[in-house]
């Protein structure tokens, strides 16, 4: 259950070596881009919705079909986008991040053996 293998010094050297490896640099770039992009999209989209609800209530009150109005359609949009973002994140992480993370982990295990 404790992970450190070998003395702390080799471990630190291993981490510093991995930090400049191609696999890790690529993993970090992709992960950071993904996090920043998705975070901006869903927070921005939700903020846009609540700002419109607060400051343009008349727009949200417009009826579209029966008693369903623009505001309720925005809510439906939020819910669908949450499901879509989740599905996208799972796919992206599996295809583009997991293989790189695995390479980094292998490298780490090899150098620490």
Partner 1 sequence: MSAGVLSMIFLAIILVFVARIGRGKNTPSDYYVANRAFTGPQNGLALFGTYLLMTSFLALSGDVALNGYDAVLFGVSFIIAWLVALVLIAEPLRNTGRFTLGDALSIRMQERPVRMAAATVTLIVFFLYMTIQLTGAAAIVTLLLGVASPLAEAMVILLIGTATTVIVFYGGMRGTTWTQILKAGLLFVGVVALGGALLLHYRFDISTLLGDAASGAGSQSAALLTPGGKFGADTTDKLQFVSQMLTVILGHAALPYLFIRFLTTPSARETRRSVSWAIWLIVPFYVLVMLIGFGAAALVGAETIQSSPGGRLSAAPLLAEELGGVALLAFIASVVFITIIAVTAGLAISAAATFTHDIYRNIARHTPSEGQEVHTARITVVVLCVLMTVVGLLLMRQNLHFMLALNVTLVASSILPTMVYSWFWRRFNTSGVLWTMYGGLITTVVLVAFSPAVSGAPQSMLPDVDFAIFPWSYVGLVSIPLGFLYGWLGSKLSRERDDAAYAEMEIRSLSGAGADK
d(CA 46, CA 58) in angstroms, rounded, equals 18
d(CA 41, CA 35) in angstroms, rounded, equals 10
User: Token pair of 63, please?
Assistant: 């009826």
Q: Which residues bind partner 1 (CB under 8 A)?
A: 1, 3-4, 11-12, 15-16, 18-19, 24, 27-28, 31-32, 34-35, 38-39, 42-43, 46-47, 49-51, 53-55, 57, 60-61, 65-69, 71-72, 75, 78-79, 82-83, 85-86, 89-90, 93, 98, 100-101, 104-105, 107-109
Min dist CB 102 to partner 1, Å, is 8
Q: At what angle do helices 22-55 and 98-112 cross, to 10 degrees?
A: 140
List residues bridging with 68 in a β-sheet. Answer: 65
Q: Which is nearer to partner 1, 7 or 15 (CB)?
A: 15
Min dist CB 22 to partner 1, Å, is 13
């Amino acid at each position: 259950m404790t992970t450190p293998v070998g003395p702390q010094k080799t471990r630190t050297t291993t981490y510093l070596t991995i930090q400049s490896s191609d696999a890790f640099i690529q993993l970090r770039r992709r992960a950071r881009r993904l996090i920043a992009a998705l975070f901006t999209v869903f927070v921005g989209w939700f903020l846009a919705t609540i700002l419109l609800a607060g400051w343009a209530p008349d727009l949200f009150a417009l009826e579209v079909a029966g008693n369903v109005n623009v505001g309720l359609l925005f809510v439906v949009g939020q819910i669908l986008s949450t499901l879509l973002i989740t599905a996208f994140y799972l796919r992206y992480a599996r295809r583009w991040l997991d293989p790189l993370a695995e390479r980094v982990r292998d490298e780490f295990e090899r150098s620490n053996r």
